[in-house]
């Protein structure tokens, strides 16, 4: 299965955070799954770090991403245009772009955000 990680799950996994459940970790470490992280997540993390809403060493974060073996998904025009076709179940622009990417590619979006489940079958709620 091709899985896109939601931003909090990415951070929890890289930081070995207690919020990461065993179920979530099984999805990430399974050899049967190809795991993606989006430039949307790195953009969100950088913005939140720069305005003081998140404490993260961006240099260490970038190194951890490089060592993680995860596949990076860039933001493309079809991703951004797909947002126009999404219902307004969620208003967060980062989450909406992750959902759009998951639909365009297609990928399954692994998230703990219950609101995102409303976007359909491509959402894995953990």
Backbone angles phi, psi at 78, to 5 degrees: -60, -35
Strand 108-111 relative to strand 123-125, pairing: parallel
Q: Whose CA is closest to 105, among 30, 47, 40? A: 40
The secondary structure element, H or E, covering residue 9 is helix 7-14
- 56 phi-psi bin (left φ>0, alpha ψ -120 to 50, beta other): beta
Domain count, the chain: 1
Looking up residue 40, the CATH number of its domain turns out to be 3.40.50.1010
Structural domain of 100: 2-125
Q: How high is the pLDDT of residue 83?
A: 98
The secondary structure element, H or E, covering residue 123 is strand 123-125
Q: Could you tell me what percent of the chain has a pLDDT over 90?
A: 100
pLDDT band at 63 (very low <50, low <70, confident <90, very high): very high
Predicted TM-score (pTM) of this structure: 0.95
């Amino acid at each position: 299965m091709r899985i896109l990680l939601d931003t909090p799950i990415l951070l929890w996994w890289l930081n070995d955070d207690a919020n990461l459940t065993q179920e979530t970790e099984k999805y990430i470490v399974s050899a049967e799954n190809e795991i993606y992280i989006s430039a949307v997540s790195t953009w969100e993390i950088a913005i939140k770090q720069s305005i003081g809403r998140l404490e993260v060493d961006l240099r260490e974060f970038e190194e951890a991403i490089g060592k993680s073996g995860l596949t990076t998904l860039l933001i493309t025009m079809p991703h951004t245009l797909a947002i126009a076709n999404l219902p307004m179940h969620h208003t967060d622009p980062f989450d909406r772009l992750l959902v759009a990417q998951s639909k365009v590619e297609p990928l399954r979006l692994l998230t703990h955000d219950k609101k995102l489940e409303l976007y359909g079958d491509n959402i894995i709620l953990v």
